[in-house]
Structure 1
Amino acid sequence: MKQAESVSDFYKRLPSHAPTAVPLDNAGIGHINVFSRETCSVVSPYSRRDFYKVSLIIGTGRIYYADKWIEIDRPALLFSNPFVPYSWEAESAEQSGWYCLFTEEFVQHSERMHNLRDSPLFRIGSNPIFFPDQVQLGELSAIFQKMQAEMASSYPHKYDVLRSYLHLIIHEAMRSNPAEHFAAYSNASSRVSALFLELLERQFPIDSPQVNLKLKTPTDYAGALSVHVNHLNRSVKEITGKTTSAHIAARIVSEAKALLQHTDWNISDIAYSLGFEYASYFTLFFKKHSGISPTQLRGVV
């Protein structure tokens, strides 16, 4: 794993996609571009991107997302955000569809998309995959084709049109299960617990062995949320059935597995990045919570 891939890095990795007429930052409004997947890479690197991406995947393969993987065995819509690393491995020879990448700055110029990171589809910890039915697939395909045509146009307000199309794609996915996506907080404990889980996820992924975890204990998280640690512990236990410490430990183990499987960092670097002073402490912690040592896990990958 490396530092988050920027838009410039993306075009360096795929020079055939490099725009000739699309600026990386169009007059301060950020960047957007739309591509056909027919020329996409068979395997994309496992890393975090410094931009949002919406992909209509027609073809089979696997998405590796954080510490999970998802089998794509039918047309799918993938929503990726700048906070969670992912990679794609194609299985079928035929790959088609489209994808759109865009920066935070691009959506900041639209009030209705201003808080995109809080959208149910881009929110940390949410399910990033939506499987459209045949009718929705036709509608989504038409929208992406219109976006491609708009990108090539000289219409002076085309970026406003592109935001509208992007908004339509997001809502086409969200309408599939509104009850799940728009669940309201039932009480104060629910809100505190949700804020804790959100903050926990925002500590990850770890991008560099030189940067270590800042929030390590329930007390650290309580301080960041401006609540008493006892209130935090009670709320998290009430809502999730698990202790605050258990959530923190599980997320650290999850990140450790990703680092062991997807980087060449040595065990000491991984231990330091996850907040352990000594590699031996990390090894004991990891074995306690996973039942296997770090070196054993790396050996079976």
Structure 2
Amino acid sequence: MGNLRTALLAWLFARSHNGRFVLRIEDLDRPRVRPGATEQMIDDLRWLGLDWDEGPDCGGPHVPYTQSERLDIYQHYLRTLEKAGLVYPCYCSRAEIAHAASAPQQGAGDGPVYPGTCRYLTAKQRSEKARMRRPSLRLRVPDDATITFTDQLAGTITQNVQQEVGDFILCRSDGIFAYQFAVVVDDGLMRINQIVRGDDLLSSTARQILLFQLLGFPIPKFAHVPLIRDASGKRLSKRDRSMGLGPLRAEGATAEEVVGLLAAGCHLVETGSNVAPDELAKRFRSDPYDIIRAISQE
């Protein structure tokens, strides 16, 4: 339900601004993709009454819209960064980084700040390490990479990417492109000018803006919306199937009831309202920033 609420809000942001809505399937981590998950997601969105102008089922000017079909594109932009001297191989495991004496306990990224262990290896040292382990590829983040941006909900954020994240991974050691890298390439090429997503990704934004800059893409606007949490304030897990759409549909809930439930959770309508997405979009078209003001009450 949390993913669906974020999708509804992203759709409302686009439609209330008379914008285009793009559906992209982010399935790079193939071993973790459940069979039928994409088809189920598309069915759920359609059932709720959400539509899109570009996507894997309807095409568009920036096909393909499924990340696992865009690997050659990512490889091209990775080579662009390599030619600029901004990429280097890293042979460190997660455990080694976590136990490095110079690594803080936790950074603004997905784990400890990377201490730069492999940044200055000689060609001989890299050759020796390559015999034992396949490397990941990291971005050589400039020391002065201080990024400041204004999120439409979180306000002004400043982050020194080198100090708070370190050199981050662009391509994993198993050959899978990192989320941070792939979404920037996609957003840049698909001309995305507004990104609406959960606030658990707010800490990723500075890294992505840095990549937008390095690759020469325009930087979009960002709005990070609150996640659905339980009574104790803990983020609901995707494993919590009781909060999925399936049980509600099985119990006979209508799409208008579910949209009303999702919209009421972020103060867009009164609790207990039944409303279709199109009706919501019409309410906010005269002043789209009412959406921001409503969500900000959370």
> TM-score interval w.r.t. the shorter chain?
under 0.3
Higher relative contact order (CA 8 A, sep 6+): 2
Report the TM-score when normalising by structure 2.
Answer: 0.23
